[in-house]
Amino acid sequence: MDKIQITQPSITQLEIDYVNDAVTNGWGAKCYDYIYKFQDAFSNYIGSDYCLATSSCTGAIHLGLMALGIKEGDEVIVPESTWIASVEPVMYIGAKPVFVDVLKDTWCIDPKKIEEAITPKTKAIIVVHLYGNVCEMDEIMGIAKRHDLKVLEDSAEGLGSEYRGKKCGAIGDCGVFSFHGTKTMTTGEGGMLVTNNKEIYEKVSVLNDHGRNPKDPENKTFWMRDYGYKYKMANINAALGLAQISRMDELVEKKRLIFNWYKEELSGNEGIQLNEEQEYAFNSYWMPTIVFLKPLNINRELLFSKFQSENIDSRPFFLPLSSLPMFDSVKENKISYQIGYNGINLPSHHALKKSEIAAICDVLRKFILTN
């Protein structure tokens, strides 16, 4: 059997045609054409007034935090369970990430823990729609309003997910997305910052162009008042993104179908928790995930080895960030520590067949029975 990959993009002739056109014609006066088209199309899909395409989601977070006014010494509340890219930009600035625990059903940041962690130094909250699961945005935005905090919505894994009919990423002060090759849609590598706040958009636009501000009265060619950054997306990448965003409904529909195949196959298996979809949410199920609950006591490394021997790719749940050597551990974040060492991600790319998912689940069931 050919190896079952955990992720890979869905590429059609449309993507190939757009990229070929960008490579052939997207230079000189046309060097931004696909970037502008992609930003407009993404804005329409998400429902945000402003979009800025970037070279990575990490870069988008960095720009967003700076535009929100985060400075050295500030505290930013972040979920314990997420990929390191969610918090690295906090450290670029010299601010302090404050890790709080997640909810045991959605694996997303716990609003009650947010409120408990607020200090006079707290300036912002980063929420993460983990694996497509959806955060409790009404409660979080209420907390932010009461304490005069900014909210950055990390939707790197939540593209296509919705909270009470609103697309994730379009609810906070700004939102960010990832188009890495593993994600539901891809630009090869890249990201997007979205906001409904014109001031935030203008700030990130200046920061992303080496600090050059076209509105500055002293503006001249190659002149800037202050330094900035360059997290720009290339026109070629944007061409791929434009084709992909036009197919988003199709791509999300297939992700949901794949998840439901897993759910059907694994129904009735006690001691297993799959991604959940709350009544107020629409889950895009970027990554089907299983958390093994205490009764099973699964040796995860042995399971990974078994999958590998069967030519099946898999990967672990994100480790709790405070368990990494650059941070002080926060062991009281018990849910994050429990799921971080007892969760796995299963293959979810768009070309998966139902028969392949049945084979994956068969290996999993047999492993549980014999271990």
User: What CATH number has the domain bearing residue 359?
Assistant: 3.90.1150.10
- The domain boundary, picked from 245, 261, 291, lies at 245
DSSP 127: E
- The domain boundary, picked from 220, 245, 270, lies at 245
Lateral strand order in the sheet of 122-128: 50-54, 191-195, 174-178, 150-154, 122-128, 75-79, 96-100
- CA R_g for the chain: 21
pLDDT in tens, 163-208: 999 999 999 999 999 999 999 999 999 999 999 999 999 999 999 9
In a domain, residue 3? The reply is: no
Whether 167 is a known active-site residue: answer: no
Considering only CA atoms, which of 120, 145, 174, 366 is closest in space to residue 266?
366
- The domain boundary, picked from 223, 245, 267, lies at 245
Range of the domain at 321: 248-370
Q: What is the H or E stretch that residue 84 is in?
A: none
Q: Kindly state whether residues 59 and 159 are assigned to the same domain.
A: yes
Q: Kindly state whether residues 253 and 157 are assigned to the same domain.
A: no
In a domain, residue 6? The reply is: no
Q: Are 312 and 4 spatial neighbours (Cβ–Cβ below 8 Å)?
A: yes
| Amino acid residing at 317 | F
Domain tally, the chain:
2
Identified catalytic residue from 123, 150, 183, 232: 183
Q: Kindly state whether residues 265 and 238 are assigned to the same domain.
A: no
- The helix/strand/coil state of 26 is coil
| CATH code of the domain containing 115 | 3.40.640.10
345 beta partners = 289, 315
Q: Kindly state whether residues 352 and 275 are assigned to the same domain.
A: yes
pLDDT in tens, 233-245: 999 999 999 999 9
In a domain, residue 53? The reply is: yes
DSSP 234: P
In a domain, residue 230? The reply is: yes
> Which pair of structure tokens corresponds to residue 107?
């694996």
Please count the other Cβ atoms lying within 10 Å of the Cβ belonging to residue 165: 9
**Confidence (pTM):** 0.96
Q: What is the C-alpha separation between 12 and 207, in angstroms, rounded?
A: 35
pLDDT digits (tens), the chain, 371 positions: 689 999 999 999 999 999 999 999 999 999 999 999 999 999 999 999 999 999 999 999 999 999 999 999 999 999 999 999 999 999 999 999 999 999 999 999 999 999 999 999 999 999 999 999 999 999 999 999 999 999 999 999 999 999 999 999 999 999 999 999 999 999 999 999 999 999 999 999 999 999 998 888 877 788 888 899 999 999 999 999 999 999 999 999 999 999 999 999 999 888 999 999 999 999 999 999 999 998 788 899 999 999 999 999 999 999 999 999 999 999 999 999 999 999 999 999 999 999 999 999 999 999 998 87
In a domain, residue 7? The reply is: no
Q: Kindly state whether residues 209 and 283 are assigned to the same domain.
A: no
What is the predicted pLDDT for the residue at 157?
98
Distances (CA, A) of 53 to 136, 175, 226: 26, 12, 22
Q: What is the C-alpha separation between 141 and 171, in angstroms, rounded?
A: 8
Q: Kindly state whether residues 158 and 200 are assigned to the same domain.
A: yes
In a domain, residue 2? The reply is: no
Q: Kindly state whether residues 279 and 340 are assigned to the same domain.
A: yes
